[in-house]
Amino acid sequence: MTTFCESVLGLRLSDRSVDLVAFMHTPHGSDHHLLAFVKSEGAGLHHTSWDVGSLDDVDRGSEQLRNAGYHDGWGVGRHVLGSNYFYYACDPWGSFAEYSFDIDFVPAQPDWVAGSYAPEDSFYLWGPTVPEWFVINPEPQQIRA
Ligand SMILES: [Fe+2]
């Protein structure tokens, strides 16, 4: 997928964590990632991300979801790659909607050098322990059934 995004869509690699995750940005300058790909046994949508205006809004969003009965989520925390604050709420499909604030911006520059980071130094700086179900892809069985 990263090769397709680079050669066909013109996106560029922002950073990666070995062969586990790759983040892509646009060459004219964009958020640290518009798309990210995580190693998996099949295709699936893990999450969409919704940019909000403050860390307060991230936490208010998480509270709104819990008040609406959606208690499965992860956060509030802060990512390493992209450095955004986050809260992920599990949606009825088993995917997630992420409230995000203050993601890094990759400027338009031809000499951007993508970093490759160890998994333990790439996921999150602080936040609750990652729930086991957060990294399970529920879709391949449904697609291939
Ligand atoms: Fe995200």
Q: What is the domain-level CATH number for residue 37?
A: 3.10.180.10
23-27 long-range CB contacts below 8 Å, 24 or more apart? 23/81, 23/82, 25/106, 27/108, 27/110
Range 32-50 average pLDDT: 94
| Strand 35-38 relative to strand 124-126, pairing | unpaired
Angle, alpha carbons 118-127-70 (nearest 5°): 120
Altogether, the residues listed in the chain come to a count of 145
Pairing of strands 47-51, 96-101: parallel
Residue-range definition of the domain harbouring residue 31: 2-144
Look at residue 132 and tell me whether its pLDDT is greater than 50. Answer: yes
The alpha carbon of 68 and the centre of ligand 1 are apart by a number of angstroms equal to 22
- pLDDT score of 145: 45
> How many domains in the chain?
1
Assess contact for 91 and 46: CB atoms under 8 A.
Answer: no
| Residues within 5 A (CB) of ion ligand 1 | 49, 98
Which of the four pLDDT bands, split at 50, 70 and 90, describes residue 144? very low
Give the rounded percent of residues in the chain with a pLDDT score beyond 70: 96
Q: In this predicted structure, which of 50-54, 57-61, 112-116, 140-144 has the lowest mean pLDDT?
A: 140-144
Whole-model pTM: value is 0.91
Q: Say how many Å lie between the CA of residue 8 and the centre of ligand 1.
A: 23
How many whole angstroms separate alpha carbon 67 and alpha carbon 84? 24
